[in-house]
Amino acid sequence: MLFPGQGSQYVGMGAELFDARPDLLTGVADRVLGWSLREVCLTGPEELLTSTDRAQPSLYALAFALWMELAERVGHPPIAAAGHSLGEYTALAASGAFSFDEGLRLVAARATAMAEAVRQAPSGMAAVLGAAEDKAEEVAAARRAEGGRLWVANLNAPGQVVLGGGLEDIDWLVGHGRRLGIRRVVKLNVAGAFHTPLMASAVPRLSGALEQIEMKIPAFRVWANVTATPFDTDQARRLLGRQVVAPVLFGASLRAMHEAGAEVFVHVGPGDVTAGLARRAVRGCRVLVVSSISQAEEAAAVLGS
């Protein structure tokens, strides 16, 4: 099971889920968040929904609701799960490591802390397409040696690496990509340089929220973004705290899950981003997308067979 991160949101998402899961998506969510999840997801406006403090809780809640729709139809747990950045919290909630509402509180605290970090240090991200991981690391290190602020943030799949840094550093990367030997640089429409040291001020607030929950033994293994290995319950809080400043090793996680026996990868949540990453990272694997209740029904027919 794969759960998406920030960037997969769009106005109008989850309309059928709000009708199917009012207990979670209006009752619990609105009480925890203090604002209307339904209104933000269905009517936006886009600027509001894409803001970090709205996008992250919204994606977490809808992906979890879709997971419940799928899990109830399949009837048996997966052998593994992972989430991209924010999606890691959905994966952990799905595994029972903490409850839906505990996870929503964590995600809300994480989003608020990350949004504040961006206000303190405006920043951005860019995808370097066709560049090997070592090339991306080399470019970022060279920029830092010149006094810049640029780091590898996401190692998503072969040929798809994301760098994060100061706004001027991202502009430099876009402007000099070809000279640096990068086929294409695409500036991403995100609020800041997530998973880089520029998020350091978010860690204390998130760590405080993590200390308030009881971490349980998950029903199935969840691969951690920071290590590309399954979470150890005793280390989960530390790894989730590190995750906001450390690179997301998603490609390595996908390959490790495949080596551990995963033959089918199921994207659960809005969009289909993690499905595309699975296809690139694990050639020949079977990939399913569950972004609606009807797709949950279709996937359950496959997974239950």
The answer to whether 220 and 261 are in contact (CB under 8 A) is no
Task: Give rounded-to-5 percent helix, strand, coil for the chain.
Answer: 50, 15, 30
Strands (DSSP E) found in the chain: 2-3, 80-83, 123-129, 150-157, 160-166, 184-187, 221-222, 264-268, 286-290
Q: Which residues are catalytic?
A: 85, 195
d(CA 102, CA 186) in angstroms, rounded, equals: 35
Q: Which residues contact 16 (CB under 8 A, 6 or more apart)?
A: 292, 293
The answer to whether 193 and 199 are in contact (CB under 8 A) is yes
The answer to whether 136 and 152 are in contact (CB under 8 A) is yes
In degrees, rounded to 5, the angle at the alpha carbon of residue 190 between the alpha carbons of residues 25 and 185 is: 140
Structure tokens belonging to residue 84: 């991209």
The answer to whether 29 and 37 are in contact (CB under 8 A) is yes
